[in-house]
Amino acid sequence: MRIIAHVTLLLTLLSCTEPRVKKYQDILEPRVGSGKKEEIDKLLGNPTWCKDEDGTQKCEYRSSRANNSPVPDVYKKEEGMGPDLSPYDRYDVLHLKYDGFGVLKDWEPVVVPH
């Protein structure tokens, strides 16, 4: 009985987040393998941070749920600076990976609130 309740809850949560993930999927999937970083930045706003990882560049994008505007600096997470005050529940957070030429290789939603 508990398993059925957990599965039902999981399906409910997934159905709540699907429309927001689909929005980014519709934007980003056609650009995987061909979209340049400059083009993606115009669509999502500037990344919060980027770092090099094994020959690729990983960037985090945070967009307002309401209008996809960039997150103000006051909310950006600073490592080692007290508690995390970033309002992840108010923003969509995506990680995108670019190759050495700035071409989108992969992306994943980290937090996409419903």
Neighbours of 112 (CB within 10 A): 20
Residue in 57, 50, 58, 63 with CA at minimum distance from that of residue 92: 63
Q: Answer yes or no: pTM beyond 0.75.
A: no
72-86 mean pLDDT: 57
Whole-number percent of the chain with pLDDT over 70: 58
pLDDT at position 91, please?
A: 77
- The conformational region for residue 52 under phi > 0 = left, psi -120 to 50 = alpha, else beta, is beta
pLDDT band at 51 (very low <50, low <70, confident <90, very high): very high
Q: Which residues contact 32 (CB under 8 A, 6 or more apart)?
A: 104, 105, 106, 107
Q: Which residues contact 87 (CB under 8 A, 6 or more apart)?
A: 75
Q: Distance between CA atoms of 53 and 106, rounded to whole angstroms?
A: 13
